[in-house]
Amino acid sequence: MQLVWNPNTEPALAGYKLYQGTEPRKYTTSTDVGKTTTFKVTGLQRGIHYFAVTAYDFSRVESDYSNEVRVAIDPPGQPFPAPAVRTVGNAATIAWETVRPSAVRIDYGPTVAYGSSVSSGSVFTLKHTLGLTGLAPATTYHYRTVCRDDAGNVTITGDMVFTTPADATAPIAATFYYPRTVGPSENRMYTGVAFVNLDSGPALLTFRPWAGAGTLSPGIRILNAGEQIAVLDVEILGESTAVQESAGWVEVNSTTARMFGFFMSFDHALSSLEGSTLLRSPVTGLLFPSLVAERMPQLMLANPRETPAGVTLEFLGTNGTVLRSVSLGIGAAAAVSVPSPVVFSHVRATSDTPVVGFQVLERPGDWKAFLPAQSFGSGATVLWGLQYVHGDFWHSHVTLVNTGPTADTVSLRWVADDGTQIGQARSLSIPANGGAVVADPGEFGVGGDTIRQGYIEIRSAVARIAGSVTIHDEAAGRFATALPLISQPASLLVVPHVASDGTYFTGLAVANPSDADTRFTVELRGADGNLRSSVSETLAARKRKARLVTELFPELSSQSVLSGYLRIVADRPVVAFAVFGTHDLSLFSAIPAQAVQ
């Protein structure tokens, strides 16, 4: 064990003595260590040890004792359970808890000499997970934990071991991308992530910061089959000031394919909250539908590859003409933010290297809306806007984009939760590469005073349509949130996180777009993947059911639930989305449920 102390600055300093004992301020041995300010103590027995230092001058006159350090060497009845070790491929995670907030370190290696270490830095927490990478296959590793609590007490465990699997290969099966946002120090921005492993085996998640966050260290987590994790990403990347102030992007690699997740960006004051599903495969053609009429968002583009990318942005109007064209370069493993030069219907981005992107619309100090860019060839002839609401302070805005070379007439139906049509069907002629906006309930022949909500069904004969729907608080400007239009109903869907307590709520809306009734089940699962509760209902043709999780599962009304996830299982394909927010609606964010293939 290495002890370090601050130097005495008096000119008459001749050296230091290190005192040691097994009771506070009762020392049985001392060691003259000379003028060094560090000393390695060896041969300590199990139990509690106390250390202090004095300084002496050339006349051998000693100072008073320094502050005392308490060290526990594998003490009986340790104040934390034995660490939990998980291994996948050439990596391992070690997780444990301490009674007091502590900064921790793991020493590890193939022998009791260890030789390697990983630490949490100076961050003091109760729960700890540290990742070890680059391990050899079929090897027994020795390790110990070193914990320093907020009172300065140090606990060192005895030697423990784990063995890595014989097959150290863990190929990447899925890759995700998300942006990190930062704010002023007085109102720090945070990014939370949630992942669910629905594969049959354990998954290694590797978080790699880049594009502005590249100075941060990668972090890892291991999820067993069925498990979920929901954390601030600083808990994985490190909670130092450097991490908290680093914008940029994070790439997450998973060794299982059936991994699902999303991210949330929010500020310390909880005045802003917005999230999105994670981006997956980079592409060379991106589509950005507009979010809210007459407001110009920022486009975030990132190049995860090791070669530079040349990108052309075409800002198009509803008639399909190019209003403005911008060419730019993105360096290798770099990102850019591009403010919109004009009000547009949609933006088409073409790149000579696959890239990823988000559209961000922000009212500083109030809200921020994210929408992932879509592949330009991802349109469909039948789509659904999962939420369309007008009345009181609610306002919705649908953007449609004809991604094909042929003009077409598109029909829209506003369907209420009971399956009936609200107002009249709407027909829109959209030119090739053009767009359309539906933002007024009067376009469906109804007034805007009464609150009406449901979903939008969109159909075209030949044109491939893409787009989005934005829901925002038009009067108070407290929030805005955006959802992509959905073209693929599914019989198995997942919402990767649940948050429900006195402050936060989670809501779920499930719609049956078919002409036949369906039976669906909502499963509430814990972070460990175990089923906590379930509810089954019949959903008639064209109907939608929207509930808070506390309405689906009344037993949660008196509980605080900040982890776990929802699975939706139906005998016919359905579409669904979740909303997360505060009960006073100062925060509100919608996330589409993700189809499980």
Domain 174-269 carries which CATH code? 2.60.290
Q: How confident is the model at residue 295 (pLDDT cuts 50, 70, 90)?
A: low
Q: Among candidates 290, 339, 288, 334, which has minimal Cα distance to 310?
A: 334
pLDDT digits (tens, 9 = 90+) for 467-521: 999 998 876 567 889 999 999 999 999 999 999 999 999 999 999 999 999 999 9
pLDDT digits (tens, 9 = 90+) for 166-176: 987 789 999 99
pLDDT digits (tens, 9 = 90+) for 126-142: 889 999 999 999 999 99
pTM of model > 0.75: yes
Q: Is there a shared CATH topology between the 174-269 domain and the 490-595 domain?
A: yes
Q: What superfamily would CATH give domain 2-73?
A: Immunoglobulins (2.60.40.10)
If you average pLDDT over residues 247-257, what whole number do you get?
91
- Tokens describing residue 502: 């006195």
Q: How confident is the model at residue 462 (pLDDT cuts 50, 70, 90)?
A: confident
Domain 84-163 matching CATH 3.50.50.60: the answer reads no
> Per mean pLDDT, which range of 202-216, 402-416, 418-432, 436-450 is the poorest?
202-216
Give 32-88 as a DSSP string.
EEET-SEEE---PPSEEEEEEEEEEETT--B------EEEEES-SS-SSPPPEEEEE
pLDDT digits (tens, 9 = 90+) for 3-56: 999 999 999 999 999 999 988 889 999 999 999 999 988 888 777 889 999 999
CA 476 – CA 295 distance, rounded (Å): 16
What pLDDT shows up at residue 556?
A: 94
Q: Among candidates 128, 129, 126, which has minimal Cα distance to 99?
A: 126
Q: How confident is the model at residue 239 (pLDDT cuts 50, 70, 90)?
A: low
Q: Name, in order, each residue with C-beta under 8 angstroms of 417's C-beta and a sequence gap of 6 or more.
A: 453, 454, 543, 544, 545, 546
Q: What are the sequence ranges of the domains in the chain? A: 2-73, 84-163, 174-269, 283-484, 490-595
Domain 490-595 matching CATH 2.60.290.11: the answer reads yes
| Structural contact between residues 499 and 566, judged by C-beta atoms closer than 8 angstroms | no
CA 534 – CA 354 distance, rounded (Å): 41
- Tokens describing residue 420: 């009936």
Give 233-285 as a DSSP string.
THHHH--SHHHHT--EEEEEEESSSSEEEEEEEEETTS--EEEEEPB-S-EEE
Q: What are phi and psi of 342, to 5 degrees?
A: -145, 160
Three-state SS at 549: helix
